[in-house]
């Protein structure tokens, strides 16, 4: 059972979320996930301690046993290790924020370790599979403009390494696409992304067929009813296409972005440059993205290091 939060806890949660936006530029989706995770924890804490006894002051009395009881409760209701680790991270951040303001020691809560899970490497599509995916998505659409739209979106993901949210966030004033785009990614960070000619052509083909011309401030990619195109529509189109092509369930919009990075590296691209194109803060994240193996790294080393030649 989910209990309504006390006014003090609700105010603290909203203040914390507001601070995340102001200081760290967290996205709306991230904030929604954090709100859900922390609300679930606080609701559990209130039930665990009994109504008002589980208010904001209860955070100062948190014990390791309380945290473990919550984690056991989450696992019992079917939450996976990865999701629980994410929820625990959000809860710790919130508790630390309150502790700093209320002046209590949160060591007991912050010392709890997250459950272990296998991160799993991304699974990019091979070049023929990526091409086949775009062709199939285009061929299966019911209307010509929808076919061109879906093909254009996937071409941007694979050809420019955009996240699905970044591609769908393009607006009318950005058309016609130039040879490069300034993309605002996670955390509000901006990066310059080259736009290859096939991507520009694919978007132009969509615009030529779309019943609604590009408008400043309006989404470039439209849904069938004229509103913003949602990621779910592209995910659904890819699910239908991969079933027809016999591709695995990992062939998703995000896999097209993985493929962009991996195929660039396979063609001799520099890992640090690919990091910039993807907008990753850490090079280790890019390395995982590109499915780099030891043999490939040794080839790069042998070709580039002066003592290896």
Strand partners, 219: 171
- Asked about 305 being catalytic, the answer comes back as no
- Asked about 186 being catalytic, the answer comes back as yes
Q: Which of 56, 257, 258, 263 is catalytic?
A: 257
Q: Which of 149, 222, 254, 263 is catalytic?
A: 254
Q: Which of 163, 200, 222, 263 is catalytic?
A: 163
- Asked about 75 being catalytic, the answer comes back as no
Q: Which two tokens stand for residue 42?
A: 């606080």
Q: Which of 34, 175, 206, 289 is catalytic?
A: 289
- Asked about 301 being catalytic, the answer comes back as no
DSSP annotation of 254: H
Find where tokens 């309006």 sit: 218
- Asked about 280 being catalytic, the answer comes back as yes
Backbone φ and ψ of 71, nearest 5°: -65, -40
SS3 290: coil
Find where tokens 């695995």 sit: 248
Q: Which of 35, 49, 73, 186 is catalytic?
A: 186
DSSP annotation of 219: B
- Asked about 289 being catalytic, the answer comes back as yes
d(CA 95, CA 99): 6
d(CA 284, CA 118): 16
Q: Which two tokens stand for residue 255?
A: 């896999």
7, 90, 93, 232, 252 from 99: Cα distances, Å: 18, 14, 10, 39, 41
Q: Which two tokens stand for residue 111?
A: 């010392």
Helices (H), strands (E): how many in the chain?
14, 2
By 3-state DSSP, what share of the chain in percent is helix, strand and coil, each rounded to 5? 65, 5, 30
Give the residue numbers marked as catalytic.
Answer: 163, 186, 254, 257, 280, 289
């Amino acid at each position: 059972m989910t209990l309504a939060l006390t006014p003090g806890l609700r105010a603290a949660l909203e203040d914390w979320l507001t601070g995340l936006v102001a200081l760290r530029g967290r996205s709306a989706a991230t904030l929604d996930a954090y709100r859900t995770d922390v609300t679930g924890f606080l609701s559990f804490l209130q039930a665990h301690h009994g109504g008002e006894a589980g208010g904001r002051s209860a955070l100062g009395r948190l014990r390791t046993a309380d945290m473990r009881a919550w984690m056991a409760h989450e696992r019992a209701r079917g939450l996976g290790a990865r999701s629980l680790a994410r929820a625990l991270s959000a809860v710790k951040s919130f508790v630390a924020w309150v502790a700093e303001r209320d002046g209590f020691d949160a060591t007991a809560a912050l010392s709890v370790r997250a459950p272990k899970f296998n991160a799993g490497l991304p699974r990019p599509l091979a070049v023929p599979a990526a091409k086949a995916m775009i062709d199939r998505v285009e061929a299966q659409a019911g209307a010509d403009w929808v076919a061109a739209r879906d093909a254009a979106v996937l071409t941007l993901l694979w050809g420019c390494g955009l996240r699905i949210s970044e591609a769908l966030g393009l607006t009318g004033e950005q058309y016609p696409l130039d040879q490069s785009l300034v993309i605002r990614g996670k955390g509000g960070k901006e990066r310059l992304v080259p736009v290859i000619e096939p991507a520009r052509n694919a978007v132009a083909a969509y615009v030529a067929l779309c019943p609604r011309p590009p408008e400043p401030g309006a989404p470039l990619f439209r849904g069938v009813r004229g509103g913003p195109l949602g990621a779910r529509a592209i995910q659904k189109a890819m699910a239908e296409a991969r079933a027809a092509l016999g591709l695995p369930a990992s062939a998703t919009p995000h896999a097209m972005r993985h493929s962009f990075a991996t195929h660039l590296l396979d063609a001799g691209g520099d890992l640090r440059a690919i990091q910039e194109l993807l907008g990753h803060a850490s090079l280790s994240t890019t390395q995982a993205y590109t499915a780099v193996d030891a043999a490939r790294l040794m080839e790069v080393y042998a070709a580039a290091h002066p003592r290896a030649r």
